[in-house]
Amino acid sequence: MNGNKQMELSGSEILIRSLLCEGVNTIFGYPGGQIIPVFDTLYDYRSELHHVLMRHEQGAVHAAQGYARASGEVGVCLVTSGPGATNVITGVGDAMLDSTPVVVIAGQVGAAMLGTDAFQEIDVVGITQPITKWAYQIRRAEDIAWAVARAFYIARSGRPGPVVLDFTKNAQVQQAPFVYEPCRFIRSYLPVPELNERAADEAAALIDAAQRPLALVGQGVVLAHAEEELKEFLQKADIPAASTLLGLSALPSDFPLNKGFLGMHGNVAPNMKTNEADVIVAVGLRFDDRLTGNLQHYARQAKIIHLDIDPSEIGKNVPVTVPVLADAKTSLKALTQRIRENKHTEWIRSFDVYELIEQERVIRKELYPEGEALTMGEVVRRVSEATGNDALLVTDVGQNQMMAARYFRYSRSRSIVTSGGLGTMGFGIPAALGAKLAVPARTVCLFCGDGGFQMTMQELGTIMQEGIGVKMILLDNQYLGMVRQWQELFYHERYSFTAMQNPDFQAVAKAYGIAGRTVGRRDELDNAIADMLKDDRPYLLVVNVENKGNVYPMVPAGAAITDILMG
């Protein structure tokens, strides 16, 4: 296995040994007919490779995503052909939009049967090519080690993303020599652009001259391990900063220059100040519509400096004055070396008025409600505080996601795992168990709605079998809450098919041997949270929250980022 000595092995064993050479120790999967040879070989490597048997292939890929996002390593998913492969498509698309390094290995019919519409044959490469960094069909055992090395290099390098390997059955059983050579270069693929020194000079000059600078922080900071470089840059230039959804934990919540959350349900001050800033420094983000609102009214007054590793993002949505192509660690270091120490005291102080408005009109009502019904925000904040604001947050999608993002507090990086670009309901449970397996020493708190929870609650079986100590907080409002909110605000309260009749969630959890409790009163909440957190066993805390609570602030779709509803 040292890469020098040749030996004849089956294709399945070549695959397993290649994964070990890449440092893989955990795989999320589900066996089936066209991948049986690999699972048979995996039986002999159980002490080296931990295979986690999921209950659905979509769960397997989301678990691999959670593992990758929490650890910074490549997540690995192993499934069979046909429906096994098509069931992972949602997670592959999710990983592509959120720049998550995942390698999906899917079984396939033998090469001689390709194109015959054989049982469980599907064109996996054709389906996944548009939503992957690379999709490749392995037809010969001789190509396996090469393909695996290339797959991991592509998945983790540059802007990370998913890779799919379509693995024919004949290649799994054929014999071939095994020599593993890690991939470090692919001709015509340049994952990390070389920093343009002149661009860095121009950006530094703009920053030095700025009177009202604002930094927008994306996940690119986390992916580049550039958190400390970001802090040094912000402190030297004295620039206030706010984060995208995926970038939220790049800065601690209590970092003095951290002004919070950007976008549709973000904080009022940074959204308003986006359209007042004279220079915007965007670091590792893609200016998606949830961040910008109506592009015709987005930061038209600002000169924009865009730091990004992916040239395709430069100018895609927003005109850029100075592009700085490089990974965030390199570009932030370069800017910090060039800029002068500065102070923007009055500009930073001007955020206060909007913060006070939001505190009075939104936050106070959410965290300290006058009514008897519990709110999502107060539940999130109490859980966060009970963990010392040091837990890893995983969310599903919907109101629970936005409330968790807004009211959870972050003390270190890689502390939020959520589905950003695709907004995949059902992401939460499998992603949370994957994250917990990646960082077992951390407390992992999952916030779900009753809709998303039921999309993948079969993965409670995986949690049971593996004994994964995920803390699941189900915010039960008996609605598909975010759609219901839009129906209330924009569709004349015509609640078309968003009310939900739910099962006894505790009975479901009990069937899987998972402890839990249901609460609906404020005076029960702290004790229930303490019970949940007292040990590292899996736990389901169901909280009955107000039925028709809304997430505010809110920028309506198609509106300017400064057209903010506050209830």
- Please list, in sequence order, all residues whose beta carbon lies within 8 angstroms of the beta carbon of residue 104, skipping any fewer than 6 positions away: 61, 64, 77, 79, 88, 91, 92, 128, 162, 163, 164, 165
pLDDT reported for residue 377: 98
- Residues 96-122 pLDDT 10s: 999 999 999 999 999 999 999 999 999
Residue 445 identity (one-letter amino acid): C
**Which pLDDT belongs to residue 564?**
97
3-state secondary structure 260-281: EECCCCCCHHHHHHHCCCCEEE
- Of 498, 444, 452, the residue nearest 474 (C-alpha): 452
The arithmetic mean of pLDDT across residues 183-196, rounded, is 95
Non-local (6+) Cβ contacts of 217 within 8 A are 230, 241, 242, 243, 244, 247, 250, 251, 283, 284, 285
Query: Is 57 one of the annotated active-site residues of the chain?
Result: yes
The band of 7, judged by pLDDT with boundaries at 50, 70 and 90, is confident
- Residue 118: which H helix or E strand, with range? none
Q: What is the 3-state secondary structure (H, E, C) of 488-532?
A: HHHCCCCCCCCECCCCCHHHHHHHCCCEEEEECCHHHHHHHHHHH
pLDDT at 439: 98
pLDDT tens-digit map of 235-245: 999 999 999 99
Query: Can you say whether the dihedral through the CA atoms of 352, 358, 363, 368 is positive or negative?
Result: positive
Alpha carbon distances (Å) from 409 to 377, 387, 404, 441, 451: 12, 10, 9, 19, 25
Task: Indicate whether 1 pLDDT > 50.
Answer: no
Based on the residue annotation, tell me whether 482 is a catalytic residue of this protein. Answer: yes
The pLDDT of 8-37, averaged and rounded, is: 98
So what's the pLDDT on residue 5?
Answer: 55
Check whether 54 has a pLDDT greater than 80: yes
Active site residue 120: yes
Q: What are 409-457's pLDDT values in tens digits?
A: 999 999 999 999 999 999 999 999 999 999 999 999 999 999 999 999 9
The predicted-structure confidence for 518-556, as pLDDT tens digits, reads as follows 999 999 999 999 999 999 999 999 999 999 999 999 999
What is the mean predicted confidence (pLDDT) over 159-172? 98
Report the 10 Å Cβ neighbour count for 23: 9
Beta strands 8-10 and 175-177: pairing type? antiparallel
Residue 62 burial (CB count, 10 A): 35
Query: 196-227 burial by CB neighbour count: b if 16+ within 10 A, else e?
Result: beebbebbbebbeebebbbbbbbbbbbbbebb
User: Catalytic pick from 120, 458, 465, 506?
Assistant: 120
**Residue 32 has what pLDDT?**
97
Question: Pick from 13, 19, 71, 57: which is nearest to 436 by CA?
Answer: 71
Token pair belonging to 447: 């916030």
Which segments of 114-254 are extended strands (E)? 134-138, 162-168, 175-177, 213-217, 241-243
169 is known as an active-site residue: yes
Q: Indicate if the alpha-carbon torsion angle 240, 361, 425, 496 is positive or negative.
A: negative
Residue 271, judged by CB atoms within 10 A of its CB (0-12, 13-18, 19+), counts as buried
Q: Say what the pTM is.
A: 0.96
256-312 pLDDT, tens digit each = 999 999 999 999 999 999 999 999 999 999 999 999 999 999 999 999 999 999 999
Q: Which of 133, 169, 259, 333 is an active site residue? A: 169
| pLDDT higher than 50, residue 93 | yes
User: What is the three-class DSSP state of 199?
Assistant: helix
Strands 26-29 and 50-53: parallel
Compute and round to an integer the Cα radius of gyration of the chain. 24
Q: How far apart are CA 167 and CA 456, in angstroms?
A: 27
pLDDT (average), residues 144-158: 98
Given 1, 48, 119, 181, which residue is catalytic? 119
Closest of 215, 255, 241, 240 to residue 413, by C-alpha: 255
Mean pLDDT, the chain, whole residue set: 97
Choosing from 54, 403, 482, 554, which is the catalytic residue?
A: 482
> Per the residue annotation, which of 13, 22, 57, 378 is the catalytic one?
57
